[in-house]
Structure 1
Amino acid sequence: MKLNRITWTAAFFISLLSFVAWFRFSYPQLEFVNFSVDRAMAMRIARDYLAQRGEDSASLRTAIVSGSDESANRYLQKTIGFDGLIRFVRENDFDLFYWIVRFFKENEKEECRVVISSASGEIISFQHTIDENEARPPLEREEAKHRAIEFLKSNFYFDLEQYTIQGDLETVLDNRSDFFFSWQRKDIHIPWDKDENAGTGKLLMGVKITGDEVLSFSKNMFRVPDQFNRYLARMQNTGNILSGIIHIFYLAIFTSAIFYMIVRRNHLAMHATKRFYIGLMIFSFALSLLSAINQLQNIIFQYGTTMSFRTYFWQFSVNTIVNALFISVSLFMPSLAGEALHYQVFKEKTSGSFLHYVRSTFFSRDMTQAVVLGYFVCIVMLGIQSLIVKVGQQQAGVWIEHAWMNNLSTAYWPFLAAFTIGFKASFTEELMYRLFAISFGRKIFKSTLAAVVISSLIWGFSHSSYPVFPMWFRGIEVTCLGLFLSFVYLRYGIIPTIVGHYLFDVFWNCSEYIFGASQPFYFYSSLSVLLLPLLWGCAAFLVNKKAVVKPMRWRLNKHQIYNLEVLKTYLNAHKEKFCHQSPYALREEISSHGWDVAVVDYALKDLGMIQEEE
């Protein structure tokens, strides 16, 4: 695939316009993110705090994860918009992102959770969970309230004049009484609906006292009205219904791929690419296992202390291996079926599948051009997405959560988590929805346009359960991206499509470390993951192998080679018997007698009775 100067010029200017759109509309979403406090710093702060309370953290198991106040995020974006959310965070010293450190013992209920601001390192919340039957010294309500107020004053500069009492609850247990007090900021009432009875968003401070101990506290709690939560649940149900419907179509495509692979299992295009896809499948499986290890802190954090940790860990390990195996197999089957279908339906578009590169080389300067084009594809995707979301925000009240940042920050190596997401999504989805689905749709509907539209719609609305509200909007957004990727795939091939998709996913999963405040390690490691395809492109440029397409031939083992000589001897001795048959009929007749189709093809080609596959 050689691109002319006009194509490169158009790609550059379209990418430039797309970058401007992204910078104008999407960049502000990342600029305010602050991860100045990393995992190690947060852990030290939490241990020091427990030591101040007289707790021995060395005897406890620990887990640390990244978190965000999703309910506040979605409510404030819905009511005051994204710009209003940023102002609210800054004006009220509100922490949208934080670290949660859990200290616990196996098979015991008692545990501590320390919540630390990812921006400042301040402890913004704490919870000490103890058994209901554990005794504490008796305490009167007024004394407990006084202690709560003094605690907030000494730790958070609490001004009682700016707050009104919101909660005053006493819980009487067998051996103690727990007192919970909360205060509401007088000047913060954020409505979400014209109906005055629908409730408003409130900013609270709270403390829980028992005996002489502060059991829990929270510097800033954003209280979302119950009616808004019910409204949101209805929207999520719509997204889940859409996803469920689309899942039926996905299963239909996946089942068709399996069926086609079985029926055409002797297709030479499958045989030629089988080793490549087996290698890809093994790499995907290993990457899934490595990803689980990378998320070990999240696994430990979710451990419930009602069972032994060993039992919990083994259950999780088995589930992880099974899921990783399924994902890897789901990559393998549609890919092989797609290779055979593409060879049949789009034989003139050789760069549309990996068969072309398996038969020639992955290290030519044509490959370099395809990789570089993938970077332009990614930038255009960012621009398309930014424009669509901006229109959605203005016309349909769209808002987007940032929960996707949590899993990445929780990982030991966020860059590896981003690479895993980008690699698996780009290969799995592009091979399924572009390589197989478009070829399959073209064969069924006899129309490339219909194949592109249908496959893009299925791909797009399969994302309807993502945290974008209204949830149907995500389907429209991704469908538009799918239409663009389909154009790139049909015009320029599979490589720029996969590279563009990979970069798009990796970019969004690393962007908070690149554009927000973060530690240097996170910044540079994120850049390195984005540059991986370019390294491949540079290697291809330097190696510069000539892209000579080799004929497709079966790989034979020793047993097949022996049978090949036997069959060739027989065919040479009986040429007059087969000379009037067509190549297809001849292949079918010999194969019907139990001969291996690979041996039959080799024998007929060696004897010149059929032509080599181009």
Structure 2
Amino acid sequence: MNRPAFWVAFAVISIGAAFVGIRYFPRAFSIVSLDITMDRDRALGEARTIAQRNRLGPPGFREAASFALDTEAQTFIELEGGGKEAFTAMMRSGLYAAYTWRVRHFREGETNESTIRFTPDGVPYGFVETLKEEAPGAALDAAAARAIAERDAASRWGVDLARYALVEQGQDRRTGGRVDHTFTYERPSPTLNDGRYRLRLVVSGDRLTEVTPFIRIPEAFSRRYASMRAANEAIGIGSVVGMALLYVLGGIGVGLFFMLRKRYVLWRHAAAWGLAVGAMQALAAINELPLIWMTYDTALPRSTFLAQQIALVAAGFIGFSVFFGLSFVAAETLTRRAFGHHPQFWRVWSREPGASVQVAGRTVAGYLLVSLFFAYDVLLYLVTTKMLGWWSPSEALLHPDVLATYAPWLSAIANSFQAGFWEEALFRAVPIAGAALIGDRVGQRRLFIVLGFIVQAIVFGAGHAPYPNQPSFARPVELILPSIGFGLLYLYFGLLPGIVLHFTFDVVWFALPIFLAQAPGILLQKGLVVVMTLVPLWMVLWRRVQVGRWTRLSPADLNAAWTPPPAVERPVAIVPVTHATLGTRAKTAWFAAGGLSAIVIVFLAVADRSRTPPLNLRSAEAADLARQAIARRGAALAPRWRVMPMPDNGSSGAHEFVSETAGEARRTELVGRYLPGPRWNVRAASFEGDVADRAEEWRVYITPAGEARGLQHRLPEGRAGAALDEAAARTLAVRALADRFGLQRNQVREISAKPARLKARTDWTFTFVDTTVAPLPKGEPRVEVQIAGDELASAGRFVYVPEEWERQQRAASTRNLVLQVLQTLVFAGMLVAAAVTGLIAWSRRRYTPRLFLAGAALMLLISMVRTANNWPTVLASLTTAAPLPLQVIGGIAVALVGLTLIAVLVGLALGALPHALRGTSTLDGGEALRLGVAAGLVAAAAAAAATALRTPVWAHVPDLSALGSTVPVLRLALDPITTLLTRTAVLIAALAAVEHATSGWTRRRVPAALLLAIVGLLAGGLPAGSHLGGWLLGGLVLAAALLVTYTRLLRFDLTMVPIALGTLAIVITLARGVERAHPAALSGSVIGALLAGGVAWWWFRALRQARTAVDAGGPHAQV
């Protein structure tokens, strides 16, 4: 490799591979040839012209543009609508433009907006204008509206209606009196097998507000495709499980634990690179902001929308940076330990090694190998698609959206940087180096390296299976040889060449649209892509210039030369903590506060008793009643059908709207009629048989009194049936009103009639207003009737919520999402920080392993039992479009990984607590126990007060979730335990850190108090709907309670925390039980309270004993 002839031959082979790849690329991959003569600026300009001419959109609008593909239509056509040739022919003939420019005109706070579409060559291709529901307009009959639709579609949008036939015609009367008409047309020929070319025209009042060509895709295909995709997803889940168990728990967790003990870990460089990769991902997300405005909900203030994006970017940056950093630490550390002949990775770009011929060779080799891997991909797809019939979607190499970002080069570089660096570190270095170290341990190094190669190839390939390719194993098979190639590069030459190759290879793919684009300033973007891609080479050349000559790696530059620093026994630095004494008067005051809190709790519990009737029907009874209701419809469920009852507390209805606008009395009056109350939601479905037929489902709602209401029958689209006209369908709907609700035709007002023309029948949906109910100040009591062919499919009542109110609720939901992201960051961050601190402490032998084992085992055991007990809920949520075994296996695998990771994190945090408590204040055991109970009662009273403040009356619903489990009593009994363990681990770790940081609350009190207040504020959950004020008040109560309880009591002995949290859990559990929302509520809650008390007491004693042992045995005591 040191001879020039080798590099000349290597370069020639690389050039030849590039030629082969380019030569056969169009034959291997289906490339859609698009004549994109319209650029983004032209699309924006012509959209403004059209909007001004046709008076579309709001005044003073903002604009956004995107070039999009109808991927659903493409997938259908290529798989079942005639193949890739049919898709290409369709695009060429202009039957349907799957690729379109979309220009959106919108304004903050305005419902009115428009989206105008153009073909790639700039021909207007339809539009949609959204009007306010209350906007005034005419109430034309269908004939007059159709005349307007056909006239304006032809004159203004160039639609040739002679090629179409009308197949659907519906109308919808808006609350402001305007009548909107929808007309759907279909081309008799040509067809796409079961797919049809259609056109939708909408007239709102007397204005044409929509012209949309589309392809009607049969439901059967969507379900077949979902079933096919389930295998891809299952393989991907397998990769995630393997990564989590082997690489994260095994490589990062166990591997770094032993490396920390050997003082082998170098974390600073890895942390810096983790931050760099995380920052690049965050910048790439910000770079997409111009395109994000296409999905902006104008119901949100722009500030809220931007806050949402910032929160998501910040959460991603923090999470990715930590995970990437840990991955890099593990990869480099294990590599340094396992492969002494590799250059030290963090030094390859330092002055002397960076100018070496070895580093230069590894860098150049990475670049030269790109074309070989590229040619392999091309030839593989050429063979598999032409000879084996494998499928991957056709692609257009030019993506104008790339040019809409702030810096087009950034996204290509950032995504490639992340994939090249992180995947080679975690998916290559960790398994191979870890396998080598295990092999060294057992004396089978080569065997374990081979096993490591096999594992990394399987996991890496399976991780790419979710891509839209068929068969499901296409990508895993494709990546076997590349995985082996990357592995060999790593094995012989270290991380550098694989990272350079992977990074550059991905850049080639991601940057193709940039290099094929023609636009002002594009040369700069292309140049930046090249410059950034060659950064590894620039680093080598820079070091070469610095040194003035080519060097060679010295033995000191290899991993074998690195030795851990000598162990230095340092005294454990314990920040002096002032041991304050809790006086007798203070103790008495806390006992009194606990007693008073108990009275407050009882008072609030009585005042907060749910007014809704209990759901005393058991699951089996609800299932039997549902079967009887279905049988009365003349349907007999075969053995393959599963009847799956699920409890429903009724919170899904428009309770908040009615309560806020009409008063609580009207809301209560409508519960059980137009607003849902507690009930059983019984779903009957089959997971066997033809996937298209499995779309058939039944749904029945069973009231607490045992009445079957709202029976729904969902038929597959392909099921044959009648094709009724509007009058005949309306007759059936009116009959259903009388039979189901006792409503006569003169007691309702029709709002809309909407048809759906299917392949073998016509369905209808009618909506009526119930005029027998006293009018609401806002909204309406409505009834919806669905007719499938000539069968009554469903008839249900609901409260119609006006658009403006719904928009306000969407804004509130988005704000709550931002708060949820913040809560997750804070509490997940606290748990991870406590766990990492515990891992480091364990590696330094300042840990209590038995508490780790006890906490992790108990957490995992209870979590697994709870998950298994929750099987009915899981089953009822599964889709019939995917194979049941794949869904079950995938769910079990994900649950196993997630529960194991959480159990390990909690266990790591718990095991570190005795040493964290070393040197803190203590109380007598009996006093600590009693005061802990008092603190828990105060916390429970504060929690009850906070709940009362943040929970409006309409949001008081019974907790019926336990009824969705196999054994409800078991669910209620185990529910408090995992929460108690997690809170104990996080809260004691946090309070111990505060205690040491403030030296016993004698300094830095302001920042510490602020942090505790934030934790207390966020501990109250999320606001109920739009009630931010109540949530804030409740959060302040919790913040004050946490601050006062810690500063005035808990800091005198932090081992009281388990007792306090256990008391809190007991109170909350019993409060739910005394509501008796269902038969198992009280007994399950009593058992849960006893278990919570027992667990709290055990951990109280265990922490006190362990802390005593640590204080007696010194900083390295292992207890």
Determine if contact 1:364/1:541 at 8 Å carries over to the other structure. Answer: no
Amino acid in structure 1 at the alignment position of 2:521: F
CA distance in 2, matches of 1:95, 1:444: 57
Instruction: Work out which of the two has the higher radius of gyration on C-alpha atoms and give 1 or 2.
Output: 2
**C-alpha displacement at 1:356, in angstroms?**
4.7
CA distance in 2, matches of 1:162, 1:133: 35
Question: TM-score, length-normalised on structure 2?
Answer: 0.45
CA distance in 2, matches of 1:243, 1:436: 19
Match of 1:586 in 2: none
Match of 1:207 in 2: 201
Amino acid in structure 2 at the alignment position of 1:284: V
1:281 corresponds, among 268, 274, 278, to 274
Secondary structure class of the residue paired with 1:400: coil
Amino acid in structure 1 at the alignment position of 2:84: F
CA distance in 2, matches of 1:555, 1:53: 75
Match of 1:291 in 2: 284
Structure 1, residues 239-284: CA drift from partner, whole Å, max 9, x if none?
222222221111121122332223313656633xx44323322322
Match of 1:87 in 2: 89
**C-alpha displacement at 1:387, in angstroms?**
2.7
Structure 1, residues 502-523: CA drift from partner, whole Å, max 9, x if none?
12222222213334x5425346
CA distance in 1, matches of 2:364, 2:38: 35
1:338 corresponds, among 321, 324, 331, to 331
Match of 2:152 in 1: 151
CA distance in 2, matches of 1:354, 1:506: 23
Q: Given the alignment of the two structures, is residue 20 of structure 1 paired with residue 20 of structure 2, yes or no?
A: yes
Match of 2:172 in 1: 171
Equivalent positions of 1:533-612 (< 5 A) are: 533-534=533-534, 536-538=536-538, 540-541=540-541, 543-544=543-544, 545=547, 546-549=551-554, 550=556
Question: TM-score, length-normalised on structure 1?
Answer: 0.80
Distance 1:128 1:51, change over 3 A: same
Match of 2:532 in 1: 532
Equivalent positions of 1:46-445 (< 5 A) are: 46-55=47-56, 59-79=60-80, 80-92=82-94, 94-117=96-119, 119-174=120-175, 175-191=177-193, 200-218=194-212, 220-252=213-245, 253-259=247-253, 260-265=255-260, 270-271=265-266, 274-350=267-343, 353-358=345-350, 360-394=352-386, 395-400=388-393, 402=395, 408=402, 411-444=405-438
CA distance in 1, matches of 2:527, 2:30: 19
Determine if contact 2:435/2:451 at 8 Å carries over to the other structure. Answer: yes
**C-alpha displacement at 1:428, in angstroms?**
0.8
CA distance in 1, matches of 2:9, 2:282: 42
Secondary structure class of the residue paired with 1:112: strand
**C-alpha displacement at 1:401, in angstroms?**
5.7
CA distance in 2, matches of 1:426, 1:43: 37
Determine if contact 2:113/2:130 at 8 Å carries over to the other structure. Answer: yes
Secondary structure class of the residue paired with 1:469: coil
Secondary structure class of the residue paired with 1:37: coil
Higher relative contact order (CA 8 A, sep 6+): 1
Structure 1, residues 442-487: CA drift from partner, whole Å, max 9, x if none?
3335332221121121011112222223443223223443222223
Structure 1, residues 554-578: CA drift from partner, whole Å, max 9, x if none?
999xxx9x99xxxxxxxxxxxxxxx
Determine if contact 1:269/1:339 at 8 Å carries over to the other structure. Answer: no
Q: Which runs of 5+ in 1 are unaligned?
A: 192-199, 564-590, 594-614
Distance 1:500 1:386, change over 3 A: same
Distance 1:55 1:396, change over 3 A: closer
CA distance in 2, matches of 1:45, 1:3: 61
Amino acid in structure 1 at the alignment position of 2:164: Y
Secondary structure class of the residue paired with 1:236: helix
Distance 1:285 1:491, change over 3 A: same
Distance 1:78 1:521, change over 3 A: farther
Secondary structure class of the residue paired with 2:108: coil
Match of 2:33 in 1: 32
Determine if contact 1:112/1:126 at 8 Å carries over to the other structure. Answer: yes
Determine if contact 1:139/1:210 at 8 Å carries over to the other structure. Answer: no
Q: Which runs of 5+ in 2 are unaligned?
A: 440-444, 572-843, 847-1119
Match of 1:514 in 2: 515
CA distance in 1, matches of 2:262, 2:400: 45
Q: Given the alignment of the two structures, is residue 501 of structure 1 paired with residue 502 of structure 2, yes or no?
A: yes
Amino acid in structure 1 at the alignment position of 2:362: A
**C-alpha displacement at 1:355, in angstroms?**
4.9
Amino acid in structure 2 at the alignment position of 1:291: A
Secondary structure class of the residue paired with 1:114: strand
CA distance in 1, matches of 2:543, 2:349: 15
Question: Percent same amino acid among aligned pairs?
Answer: 20
Amino acid in structure 2 at the alignment position of 1:434: R
**C-alpha displacement at 1:112, in angstroms?**
1.6
Secondary structure class of the residue paired with 1:190: coil
Structure 1, residues 35-68: CA drift from partner, whole Å, max 9, x if none?
5433333222222222222357662343333321
Structure 1, residues 192-235: CA drift from partner, whole Å, max 9, x if none?
xxxxxxxx2222233211233111112x3222222111111112
Determine if contact 1:337/1:436 at 8 Å carries over to the other structure. Answer: yes
Secondary structure class of the residue paired with 2:514: helix
Determine if contact 2:124/2:157 at 8 Å carries over to the other structure. Answer: no
Q: Given the alignment of the two structures, is residue 43 of structure 1 paired with residue 41 of structure 2, yes or no?
A: no
Distance 1:82 1:487, change over 3 A: farther
Determine if contact 2:58/2:113 at 8 Å carries over to the other structure. Answer: no
CA distance in 2, matches of 1:254, 1:22: 39
CA distance in 1, matches of 2:263, 2:348: 13
CA distance in 2, matches of 1:78, 1:531: 41
Determine if contact 1:257/1:333 at 8 Å carries over to the other structure. Answer: no
Amino acid in structure 2 at the alignment position of 1:362: G
Q: How many pairs are equivalent?
A: 549
CA distance in 2, matches of 1:542, 1:2: 21
Determine if contact 2:112/2:130 at 8 Å carries over to the other structure. Answer: yes
Distance 1:189 1:378, change over 3 A: same
Match of 2:455 in 1: 454
Distance 1:434 1:207, change over 3 A: same
Match of 1:194 in 2: none
Determine if contact 2:32/2:88 at 8 Å carries over to the other structure. Answer: no
Distance 1:450 1:526, change over 3 A: farther
CA distance in 2, matches of 1:82, 1:370: 41
Distance 1:492 1:15, change over 3 A: farther
Secondary structure class of the residue paired with 1:399: coil
